[in-house]
Structure 1
Amino acid sequence: MRGYSIKNLPEKYALARLKEEDISLKDAVNIAHFLKGKKLESAKNILDGVIEKKVPVPYFRYLDSVSHRKGIGPGRYPVKAAKAFKRLLNDVSANAEFKGLSENLLIYSIAASKGRVIKKYTPKAYGRAGAFYKELINVDVVVTEEGQQ
């Protein structure tokens, strides 16, 4: 399993991966930290709330100028990243169903990491161009049956 963030897998598991997704690394890291250890259906409901801007994602890292949210502390509503995570959780749910796992699934491991960097250019005055770099993100998720760890 080259490229995955987890080495020791449980006995019954399902996994999925988003490769080179155009989302913010800071948002992805905080969403992954928020969802780890939660039930799969609960995590999907949480992401629906984030997309509707009703449930904030608490930030534990990259806190510079992150506003306080009532009841959770610093947090935001990263809609674009939440949509990507929702798609990933739907994929891992389908993989678990294909493997014959039960409906009670826990998120055993979820990790966001840097992917490929693309160098792009923006036009400037007098025929010049300025370079900027677009960082892509990889996200892995492993789910297990409840009580399996």
Structure 2
Amino acid sequence: LEPGYYLIECYVKMENGEFHTTMGMLEPLVVSQDTSGIIPPENFIPINISSENGIVLNDSITAGTQTFGVYFQDQKVYENVVGHDVNLVKLNENANLDSLEKWMNWMDPKGLIDPAPEGIVFLGGVNDMPPLTMGYFTAALTPGDYVLISEVPNASEKKLLKMFTIY
């Protein structure tokens, strides 16, 4: 991030449609010019995301604690007034992929309302970032079905929904 003042907010909604920010899930963040000394991880599973190619994951993934590096090739504002991002979701046997995709659209009155659809477990991700930047997240993975999905309407049509299985 460039030095400056930012806000960290939660835009998941309660059952009554109010955003979590109204409950106080909003925090200031000040980014200084000082260097943190934190260095990027040496080993990570690369994910590329772009408005043209969607989410691209070429590596096979194994069970265990894994770090992902998400490279934002570009960024654009979608019809829900936000850019693309990446969320890692584990799908349990009763999960419905269509319900997840519809739920991820915060502009839908029923979108991003707590709780998430049945059988869906969010494990991590990287929010929308500027073009040509990279963000990292780490998740503990067990055998099963997973989805990388962006919080945009009709993610599958935009290639912003990618399924994979860990055996």
Q: TM-score, normalized by length of structure 1?
A: 0.27
Q: TM-score, normalized by length of structure 2?
A: 0.25
Whichever of the two has the greater Rg, that structure is: 1
Higher relative contact order (CA 8 A, sep 6+): 1
